[in-house]
Structure 1
Amino acid sequence: MLSKEDALQRFNRQIKAIEDLMRKPRFCPDFDKWHRDTEILIEKIFSENTRHINDFNNISYDLGILMSNTPDYEYDKVYRNGLTRAESILKSFIDEINDYWDLERKVDNRDCLLIVEKICSRFPKVARQLGSRQRNKKPFEIMDEYDVQYLLHALLLLEFDDIRPEEWTPSYAGGSSRVDFLLKNEKIIIEVKKTRPNLKDKEVGEQLIIDIEGYQTYQDFKKLICFVYDPDHLIKNPSALENDLRKDKDDFMVKVIIAPKL
């Protein structure tokens, strides 16, 4: 994740480039590069599918309708007005960073990890509560791994805004697999398992080893939490499995959470 200083520097660079574009022909190759670079920068700092990228992409640089009798200077005027508006919006982004960057990022990644760990550790209590509803209400039953993902996703939404469910990982060992959840801003991967009679200690461990190796190649995500929901206590020594698979290296951190425990 970019630092505040890097974000400001890069937005100022894109603003400065507008001065050069004003002196060049409309829609020259430099404009295409500037526009794409700015889109990428906005998405890296503010995430995709936000108001920020929409505000930038809604800027018009041409008249839209070509008329044979429209003088060329009108096209120039609209193009330059678009660049001027882009400059204003980028300056607004800079003001937002200066005013709110520290507030929005007061919870660091270590705190975010603790939040995810807490949600996973308390997941069994939530599941039990939903499974014992009163007044003849139909309970929420967790029958398989998809039910675990469904409820965990809802709990994660209490704390995190940008949660990407089920994305494909890059190819590893001749194949690829799905990431259950990505916390995009926090750069955290969450993998979910649910034990069953044919998925116990050995099988869970083997699957997680393969997953961990594959996820280390996934973009710039450097933190992985593996949540194993074990309602029937099929894993005999959960603490040992957690410790065996845990990694605390700076380049990639792995935390395994098995819950509930006896």
Structure 2
Amino acid sequence: MVYMDFINRLNELINEGNSLKATAEDDGYMGFIVVDSSWFKAWQAKSQQCLKELLEEDSYYLKSFNDHVSDVYESHVVNGIKLLESIRDEAQVGRILAKKASKVLEPIDNLGNIFNKFHRVAKQLRSRHSERPTLDITDEYDVQDLLHSIMHLHFDDIRAEEWTPSYAGGGSRVDFILKNEKIVVEVKRSRKSMKAKDLGEQLIIDIQRYKVHPDCKTLLCFVYDPEGYIANPRGIENDLNNKTDNMPVHVFIRPE
């Protein structure tokens, strides 16, 4: 199991936890609010197994889950959901990396690591010796140029700007195709006029278009938002990640 599998599994456990929470009722005896006992035990076991597989044994999150999600009370389910959401959110911005993923990174994990550190690289480029000329990331083309250079650290065959099949009466260009890995990388640069709703609609159209692209088995969308124009970036990511039946989609809005 590697990075994106980690995120997907956490989302499944969070959703299951929310469904479990909906079973809460008064126990009719001591006045405690409890959830379905057999369901809770199954969810607890799956969550613990997931975290044991993916986190270090001394992880604060693993210890917290074991300590605070130990009984059938509704409050314990709420604690578990919050912990799983925190782990997912930390992982999405690169502060947690599954221990198995850290040993042998898959192509998607390498790209995720690039996206997470892209802003750091962009800032470093501004600090050159003797004020020599540098690359200022002012528009989408600048983002593409810098990203293309960094991607060469991990990928040999990077193809830029190929036409995609027409969707809803028009075609567009793919920013990057990793031919061997069957991955398409779509790049966007936020701007003041771009609202979260606009970005979401653009990405939904992109997802539908790439579903029929012969070299796209996985779509990664990198949105560079250094000014923080996009409200609730984690919400957009969670809404759009893996929303197709046969093409995994991973959205990265960075920096945090």
TM over 0.5: yes
Q: Give the unaligned 5+ runs of structure 1.
A: 1-108
Deviations 1:210-259 (A, max 9, x none): 01100000014210000000010011211000001111656200000010
Partner residue of 2:113 out of 118, 127, 130: 118
Counterparts of 2:138 and 2:237, CA distance in 1: 24
Deviations 1:130-188 (A, max 9, x none): 01223121232011000000000001111101000000001111111100000000000
SS state at 2:186 partner: strand
The alignment-based identity, stated in percent, is: 53
TM-score by length of 2: 0.57
Counterparts of 1:146 and 1:249, CA distance in 2: 28
Q: Within 5 Å, which residues of 2 pair with 1:20-169?
A: 111-169=106-164
Counterparts of 1:220 and 1:191, CA distance in 2: 13
Residue 5 of structure 1 corresponds to none
SS state at 1:135 partner: helix
Deviations 1:104-148 (A, max 9, x none): xxxxx9711000111111100000000122312123201100000
> Aligned pair 1:231/2:237, yes or no?
no
Partner residue of 2:168 out of 151, 166, 173: 173
Two-structure CA RMSD over aligned residues (Å): 1.6
> Aligned pair 1:253/2:231, yes or no?
no
Larger Rg computed on CA atoms: 1
Contact kept, 8 Å, 2:119 with 2:254, in 1: the verdict is yes
One-letter identity of the residue aligned with 1:257: F
One-letter identity of the residue aligned with 1:237: N
Counterparts of 1:185 and 1:193, CA distance in 2: 23
Provide runs of 4+ in structure 1 moved above 4 Å: none
Moved more, 245-254 or 117-126: 245-254
Residue 199 of structure 1 corresponds to 194
TM-score by length of 1: 0.56
User: How many residues are treated as equivalent by the alignment?
Assistant: 153
Q: Give the unaligned 5+ runs of structure 2.
A: 1-103
Counterparts of 2:243 and 2:195, CA distance in 1: 25
> Aligned pair 1:215/2:194, yes or no?
no
Moved more, 231-240 or 110-119: 110-119
Counterparts of 2:155 and 2:217, CA distance in 1: 18
Counterparts of 1:175 and 1:215, CA distance in 2: 13
Counterparts of 2:235 and 2:250, CA distance in 1: 13
SS state at 1:257 partner: strand
Residue 23 of structure 1 corresponds to none
